[in-house]
Structure formats: C-alpha cells, structure tokens
Amino acid sequence: MDEQFPHEGAQAEAYIALGSNMGNREQLLLAAINLIDEHPEIEVSKVSGMYETDPVGYTEQPPFLNMALAVRTGLPPLLLLRQLLSFEQQLGRVRQIRWGPRTIDLDLLLYDNVRIDQEELILPHPRMMERAFVLVPLHDVIDQSHPLQAEVSSASNAALLDGKEGITLWKTINWRSASEPFES
C-alpha cells in the first residue's frame, strides 16, 4: 500500500457524489447513505441537501436527485470505490446507456488530497469541476480546510448564478432521523 493512503487504524476523508433518476429517487439516495454508513470502515460525517437537476449528456431521461457526502474511512481509495460499486449493484444499478437513467450512481470524488490516475480510478474525479450537479452538493459538505474548497466554492457559485444545468434545491434532510424507523 502506498504511503499516501491511511495506515492501519488511520482515517481518511473522502467525498462521494450520489445521483438517482429512476424509481423512488429520495428513498434510493437514503438507502445508499445507510449502506455506506453501515459499513464498518466508513462513517458518514456530512450530508448535502438534495438537488433536482436536469440530465446531462444523454438528456432523454427524467431529472435526477443529486447529493454529496463527506465520509471518514479506513479503506484505501480503490477498495472504497469497489465498495461503492457493490452498493450500486445492491440497489439495482444496471449500466446500459452511458450517462443514462439509473437507480443509483455513487462516484468517489475526492480522497484526502490524494491524486491517482489509474484505469480503474482517477482522483480527483476528472469531470467534477465541470458539473454543477456535483459541485453544488459538494460545496455543502466539503471541509473548509480541503485544498480544493475555494475552487469548488467558486465553481459552485458560478454554476448557480448562471442557472447552469438546471439545478435547484429540492429538499434538505437530517438523514439520521430520516433513516430511522418510524415509531408511533
């Protein structure tokens, strides 16, 4: 394992983008957050608002709900990515059309200040700075001390001012209370 990844017992901060535009989008996002947080090596520390966004790329599909999470993890980046892909499968993700409709999409955006350029994983995520549907929710959760915080903030504000990519705040949630069973 590379020196830049957490040592035994150490925690890294990572940021994950979530999106859904099939089925009950809100429930799928909450289910994804719960799966992530229930993993013994991952702890969700911050959750963004839910934003409804117009599709990008392949536009003949329903609007998305998008969010971002800040997590603390002992998993190295590649294992975290593979775990996210496993969660997508558990939630019914089928990859048919590039940028097409999906029950859930989980993208690893940032992992501490690690830079990786491998076939399976590129960090920071190569297209995140071009996408308001990533930047706006990420701005909600990114730590003020993160090296890309100022760039994310500036790009997010510009995207909102431009009305770029049809992004609107859909709902704010307290995900811990929203995910707990209802008691009468």
pLDDT class of 107 with cuts at 50, 70, 90: very high
pLDDT of residue 97: 58
> What top-level class would CATH report for the domain 12-174?
alpha beta
Average pLDDT estimate for 94-108: 75
105 is catalytic: yes
Q: Given 82, 95, 107, 112, which residue is catalytic?
A: 107
Closest CA to 140 of 118, 123, 157: 157
107 is catalytic: yes
Residue 94 has pLDDT above 70, yes or no: no
Q: Given 25, 105, 131, 140, which residue is catalytic?
A: 105
Query: pLDDT, tens digit, for every residue of 8-50?
Result: 667 999 999 999 998 899 999 999 999 999 999 999 999 999 9
Which residues, 6 or more positions from 37, have their beta carbon under 8 angstroms from its beta carbon? 43, 44
pLDDT class of 1 with cuts at 50, 70, 90: very low
Residue 137 has pLDDT above 70, yes or no: yes
112 is catalytic: no
Q: Would you list the domain boundaries of the chain?
A: 12-174
Q: Given 25, 37, 102, 115, which residue is catalytic?
A: 102
Who has greater pLDDT, 61 or 135? Answer: 135
pLDDT of residue 3: 42
Distance CA 157, CA 105 (A): 24
Who has greater pLDDT, 94 or 163? Answer: 94
CA-to-CA dists, residue 46 to 18, 42, 49, 141, angstroms: 13, 12, 10, 6
CA-to-CA dists, residue 21 to 28, 44, 101, angstroms: 9, 22, 6
pLDDT of residue 164: 53
Who has greater pLDDT, 47 or 60? Answer: 47
pLDDT class of 165 with cuts at 50, 70, 90: low
Q: Given 2, 25, 37, 93, which residue is catalytic?
A: 93
Q: What is the mean pLDDT of the chain?
A: 84
Residue 182 has pLDDT above 90, yes or no: no
pLDDT of residue 163: 59
